[in-house]
Amino acid sequence: MPVRRTATAVSALSAALLSATLLSAAPATAATAATIHPGADDSACRHWYNDGALDVRLENIPDPVVAGEWAEFDYRITNTLDVPVDGLVTLAEITAYDTLDGSDVPVTTEWFADGAWTPLTTRGWYDWFGTTDALQPGESATARLRVLVAADAPDWALGSAVIGGAHLTPQSCERTLTDLEFDIVEAS
């Protein structure tokens, strides 16, 4: 079984890695699941704070992901703050690379929004893809994601996901970023 590694980001450009298990069950405080809607606007944020206050995870990732086949899984974000939020901004950036030479392996990533699969689009460093409904403390929102790793990916390729969320207010922009890796196997 592959080791799944996580980290909380210290800055947008450098991350301090911490080992932990990410793909566990949803937190016990997550009572309901709200919707994540297309569109995320973080353009008003000039100063970011990395507080790690939100619970953000990928769930049900196939183990391993098979090159050339769509792999579906869930993105879940939970409001772990002590106050209700009008909405949280969601992020997912999924890539793959050759572990022997470090070269990129082509990946297509989509999410299910408004009844159709939609590509995640890059805006700046990360793929801020949506905004949740209003969430009370302990409430979660989920989105269905899928990834297609190139069929010619080598068996020693490794997938990498940076996922996160942000709480934006007029006073501050607080984000939580988490990193994990997943195994990829050659198409049979």
Residue 120 has pLDDT above 90, yes or no: no
As a whole number of angstroms, the distance between CA 14 and CA 61 comes to: 26
Residues 58 and 163 sit within 8 Å (Cβ to Cβ): yes
* pLDDT of the residue at 173: 83
Homologous superfamily of 28-185 in CATH? Immunoglobulins (2.60.40.10)
Take residue 168 and report the two structure tokens written for it.
């934006």
What does pTM read for this prediction? 0.78
Task: Calculate mean pLDDT across residues 66-95.
Answer: 93
pLDDT (tens digit, 9 = 90+) per residue, 9-22?
322 222 222 222 23
As a whole number of angstroms, the distance between CA 90 and CA 160 comes to: 17
Residues 5 and 179 sit within 8 Å (Cβ to Cβ): yes
Task: Calculate mean pLDDT across residues 113-119.
Answer: 92
As a whole number of angstroms, the distance between CA 168 and CA 95 comes to: 26
As a whole number of angstroms, the distance between CA 46 and CA 31 comes to: 33
> Which of the 8 DSSP states describes residue 113?
E
pLDDT (tens digit, 9 = 90+) per residue, 124-173?
556 788 999 999 999 999 999 999 999 999 999 999 999 999 988 877 78
